A and B are shown apart, each in its own frame.
Chain A
Amino acid sequence: MITKRIIPCLDVKDGRVVKGVNFQGLSDVSSPVELGKYYSDNGADELVFYDITASAEGRALFTDILKEVASKIFIPLTVGGGINTVADFDRVLKCGADKVSVNSGAIRNPGLIEEAAKIYGDQCVVLSVDVKRVDGVFRVFAKGGRENTGMEALEWIRRGVESGAGEIVVNSIDTDGVKQGFDLEMLEAVLNIVNVPVIASGGAGGIGDFVELFHKLPTVDAGLAASIFHFGEVAIPDLKRELHKENIIVRL
């Protein structure tokens, strides 16, 4: 059977990984290449590089670094951040990305998902959604979770899949950074309405949270996290051994 995926996410600004990391043995802890390689050698099933650069210069640096990453790391790479047009898809796919994650770009231009899926295939288009409860309703937030779009999240996701999104990243703003576990209620609501892979994001504080995620929601495909991996709170090989012990199928 297909294994559950563990995915570290790296934020990149001007070609460098932001948020310090404290792994021993890495000479340059903010090099996307070194860090990506480290994760790849230590059991990550996939890597997400999120470009948080605002400037054109920074974007060019990101593209260069992505090429270097893709020439040294041979696991699936997903790229997000600043994806607004099909030309942006083209730019990162040519540098070796396998999947492209859209978020605000799709909110501004909902046609982007369909357009990209037609050219590159559904499997290439990842819809990433920042979701927060407002008066008991799941709402889509934009601009890195700062702005309520007023859109109903489940409807947005359903439409996204219909348009050709081949994978959904559900980032719960409610649980993000709280480290008390993934947002199981929100994830379950999403799993109930789509038949494409769903990636859980936001809220992981320890190994137990991943065990709970995959036990309680057996159809969820992957768990994504950033800081707990970067700060060494959870080492992926330990996490996978524990999941394996709990009879959750992972790649060891």
Chain B
Amino acid sequence: MIAIVDYGVGNLYSLKSSFEYLGIPTIVTRDKTEIENSDKILLPGVGAFRDAAKSLAGYGLDKVVREQASLGKPMLGICLGMQMLFDKSFEYGEYDGLGLISGNVRPLAGAIPETLKIPHIGWNALHFPKNKEKSPIFKYVEEGECVYFVHSYYAADCDESVIATAEYGMEVTAAAAKNNVFGCQFHPEKSGEVGMKILRAFHEYRA
């Protein structure tokens, strides 16, 4: 059972539906015990970092998520949920993340050429670092396949954990991982067949 952590941020309908479509059981929950009893954890999120971090902590779930990650439970953060896995975010201030993957979340503005529109929104191709083995969550995905992005901030200072990038005026971190903890900046639940392949691979992943 995959626990989709519901901490009051964003709409979980599509995410839950996509696992249903794949025939993978999930539970949408903010209950500590249910999260502890799950096989895997999915951390979603849209909106602003500060509000999301506050909300997660408000339910006492930051501790639970950190604890479960350190026990080796597979975990996938999506979009803002991915950004929360890092040390810090500089979105409208400076806020602490979960610190599960080293790195910081910084604005695309200033990092990419001014001619490019922000947010980085739309379908963009995934590229896998040539010097690394392909991450298990991408085992069904080919180099160059497209996924759907919507974001204005990106994960920086995390070279060693980058498992996929997308080209948008620079190499934008598309996905990162450290041991059992994975994060996708894009939305697999909105990325058609390619997204489904990633969710399936996460389900099949054994730490």
Contacts and interface: CB of A to CB of B under 8 A. Distances in A.
Interface of A: 1-3, 5, 40, 45, 67, 70-72, 74-76, 93-96, 98, 121-123, 166-167, 195-197, 221, 251
A221 B46 CA distance: 23
Contacts of A72: 17, 21
A5 B11 contact: no
A251 B125 CA distance: 8
B205 interface: no
Contact of B117 (A40, A75, A93, A196): A196
Contact of B46 (A67, A121, A122): A121
B202 interface: no
A40 B196 CA distance: 13
B21 A71 contact: yes
A251 B123 contact: yes
Contacts of B195: 74
Contacts of B167: 1
Contacts of A75: 148, 190-192
Nearest to A72: B21
A123 B150 contact: yes
Contacts of A71: 13, 17, 20-21
Contact of A2 (B14, B47, B122, B189): B122
B46 A94 contact: no
B120 interface: yes
B16 to A, nearest CB: 9
Interface residues of B, number: 30
Contact of A74 (B11, B14, B149): B14
A122 B168 contact: no
Contacts of B121: 2, 123, 166-167, 197
Query: Of residues A2, A67, A70, A75, which shows the largest number of chain B Cβ atoms within 10 Å of its Cβ?
Result: A2
A94 B11 contact: yes
10 contacts: A2-B120, A2-B121, A2-B123, A40-B192, A74-B14, A74-B192, A94-B11, A94-B13, A121-B47, A196-B117
Contact of B17 (A1, A70, A167): A70
A167 B192 CA distance: 22
Given A40-B192, A94-B11, A5 B122 contact: yes
Contacts of B46: 121
A74 B117 contact: no
A40 B123 CA distance: 14
B190 A74 contact: yes
Contacts of A195: 117-118
A94 to B, nearest CB: 7
Given A3-B122, A98-B150, A195-B117, 12 more contacts: A1-B125, A2-B123, A3-B123, A3-B125, A45-B123, A72-B17, A75-B148, A94-B13, A121-B46, A196-B117, A197-B122, A221-B117
A123 B190 CA distance: 14
A122 B47 CA distance: 10
